[in-house]
Amino acid sequence: MTTTSPLVDRIRRHGDRLAIVDPAGAWTFGAIDAAAVALAGALPVEHGDRVAILATPGHDFVVALLACWHAGTIAVPLHPPHPDAELAYVLADSGAAAVIASPAHQDAAARLAAGAGIPVVDVTQRGVVHRFSPGLDRPALMVYTSGTTGRPKGAVHTHRSLAGMVDGMVAAWGWTPDDRTVLVLPLNHVHGLVNVTLTPLAIGACCEAPGGFDPVHVWERLASGEVTVFMAVPTVYARLTAAWEAADPETRGRWSRGAAGLRLMVSGSAALPVSTLDRWRELTGHTLLERYGMTELGMVLSNTLDRRVPGHVGEPMPGVEVRLVDDTGADVPDGTPGELLVRGPQVFAGYWQRPEATAEAFVDGWFRTGDVGVREPEGYRLLGRSSVDIIKTGGEKVSALEIEEVYRTRPDVADCAVVGLPDEEWGQRVAIAVVPAGGAPLDADELRAWGKQQLAAAKVPTRYVFVDALPRNTLGKVTKPDVVALFG
């Protein structure tokens, strides 16, 4: 498979076709392109600068993103609901030169930009038309992702790696210009940004962006007969199932009959419980196509349009190579678990300004995922992660160590340990064992409210236990399985 051109060049070729529908209106590809090249001319930046985007999904976000590319800069998408502390960290770490903001987010943008000493550009601003066709190896995008150490790192993708991701998904999942999808996921992750927004736009299909996830709205759109493809994380399917169960019989029947007409429904970003898959099939007749991906890699393993095995994630995506290796780095035979290594045209360029972390992430040119899998006759199956300190909750990857560091800054917290507890709806739930500095238990509601001001919602523990001391082994290291046991 050869990648021919950057996405920004492909998107404008679709002219009068419908590109985006959002609560503010409907736009053709031509209208989006015209807005983007005019906004590019208004950006006070130079090639290679990072530009943060604080925009509503749909028109504003896509115009801002394409403007960044026409200005030769690296786009850094932010998630508007995040607290200031989380957003300020990304602005500082990326060294953003400007923030593009939707009118709805001007106040937050002004606050954050003042803190960082950079300008805000309203997404409606227009300058002299600036059209630039970036080289494929130029950095295009930075997405922040949590690891086992410290704060999130910026994963840098080039125009080539983004185009590689899109080409793989078009080939594997049969996207056509007649498709239409609904975006319910945030745009600060590859799933919502590349799979659901850029892939349809690159081939001339339509992306509806209602502005977030509302289960009833999604059901109505699935039942409308207009939507052909839907993609989400397992928690979204669990929440849709709950909304169906809460509906009256007439509504249920209408939703189920309508949803049955879609061409394709995909689940990914976290393990899809077979119970969720089974229930979804009862409700809609669809066997969810499960695939496995990662921020640094895009889509890696996927079931195929004609073969979907529950509990399995299929075979490598087009153009992607994978290996499973043991602790010594030697390949394991089929049926034996090993760490998954990945190579291919869609692999990211590295972590922003973290050469050591980038070097450690690769071995002989292969990216080390930290995920453990096994190859079976039915395809690859994932068994878990090599680190207990990486938690997946609602499709969001969070670092136990980052959360612990933040809670340890409180004077009333002498020590703490964060773990993930298994949960049918969220995959895992973030839980924290706290050693109060004064001995007496603290107020769990206050600890959660405080956490929401420091950290993205997914990172804030939902379960709290107060202990005199954390369980430790003879070397003094906290034993996380014993911390899990504290929650019963």
Buried b (16+ CB within 10 A) or exposed e, 315-352: bbbbbbebbbbeeeeeebeeeebbbbbbbbbbbbbbbb
Q: Is 393 in the site for ligand MCA (CB under 6 A)?
A: yes
Q: Does 271 bind ligand AMP (CB under 6 A)?
A: yes
Shortest CB 433 distance to ligand AMP, Å: 24
- Nearest distance from residue 385's CB to ligand AMP, in Å? 5
Q: Tokens in use for 17? A: 């076709």
| Sequence-ordered list of residues with C-beta below 8 angstroms from that of 372, at least 6 positions apart, any chain | 337, 338, 339, 340, 382, 383, 384, 385, 386
DSSP 229: E
Minimum Å distance from CB 213 to ligand MCA? Answer: 4
Q: Which is nearer to ligand AMP, 219 or 426 (CB)?
A: 426
Nearer to ligand MCA, 348 or 366 (CB): 348
Q: Work out how close the CB of 327 gets to ligand MCA at its nearest, in angstroms, rounded to a whole number.
A: 25
Residue with nearest beta carbon to ligand MCA? 394
Contact status: 420 vs ligand MCA (CB under 6 A): no
Assess 195 for contact with ligand AMP (CB under 6 A).
no
Per DSSP, the residues of 173-200 read H---TT-EEE--S-TTSHIIIIIIIIHH
Number of residues that bind ligand AMP (CB under 6 A): 17
Burial class of residue 28 in the structure, from the number of CB atoms within 10 Å of its CB (0-12 exposed, 13-18 middle, 19+ buried):
middle
Which of ligand MCA, ligand AMP, none interacts with 290 (beta carbon under 5 to 8 A by kind)?
ligand AMP
Positions 381 through 420 that interact with ligand AMP (CB under 6 A): 382, 385, 392, 397
Closest to ligand MCA by CB, 72 vs 234, is 234
Count the alpha carbons within 13 Å of 22 in the hemisphere toward its beta carbon. Answer: 21
State how far the alpha carbon of 428 is from the alpha carbons of 396, 402, 404, 419, 422, in Å.
10, 17, 17, 9, 5
Residue 235 binds: one of ligand AMP, ligand MCA, none (C-beta under 5 to 8 A by kind): ligand MCA
Closest CB to ligand MCA among residues 332, 457: 457
- Interface with ligand MCA, residue 162, by CB under 6 A: no
Euclidean distance between CA atoms 164 and 169, whole angstroms? 9
In Å, how far from its chain's centre is CA 80?
Answer: 14
Q: Which residues inside 430-469 make contact with ligand MCA, applying CB under 6 A?
A: 457-458
Read off the tokens for 291. 């695939």
The mark string for 255-284 relative to ligand MCA (x by CB under 6 A, - otherwise) is -------------xx---------------
Determine the length of the chain: 488
Which of residues 223 and 458 has its CB atom nearest to ligand AMP in the complex? Answer: 458
Q: Which of 145, 228, 235, 393 binds ligand AMP (CB under 6 A)?
A: 145
Judged by CB under 6 A, the stretch of 83-91, 222-230, 262-270, 418-426 that binds ligand AMP is 262-270
Binds ligand MCA (CB under 6 A): choice among 240, 294, 322, 403: 294
Q: Round to whole Å and give the CA distance between 448 and 343.
A: 40
Element (H, E) at 444: helix 444-454
- Say which entry of ligand MCA, ligand AMP, none residue 347 contacts (CB below 5 to 8 A, set by partner kind): none
By CB under 6 A, tell whether 213 contacts ligand MCA. Answer: yes
Residue 189 amino acid letter:
H
Spatial separation of the C-alpha atoms in residues 302 and 296, rounded to whole Å: 16
Q: How many CB atoms within 10 Å of residue 388? A: 16
Residue with tokens 């972590």: 351
| Maximum distance among all Cα pairs of the chain, rounded to whole angstroms | 68
Residue 396 interacts with ligand MCA (CB under 6 A)? yes
Q: Cβ(75)–Cβ(39) under 8 Å?
A: no
CB of 455 to ligand MCA, least distance (A): 10
- Could you give the string, one character per residue 307-346, with x where binding to ligand AMP holds by CB under 6 A and - elsewhere? ------x---------------------------------
- Residues forming the site for ligand MCA (CB under 6 A): 185-186, 189-192, 213, 233, 235-236, 268-269, 293-295, 393-396, 426, 457-458
- Residues forming the site for ligand AMP (CB under 6 A): 145, 268-271, 290, 292-295, 313, 369, 371, 382, 385, 392, 397
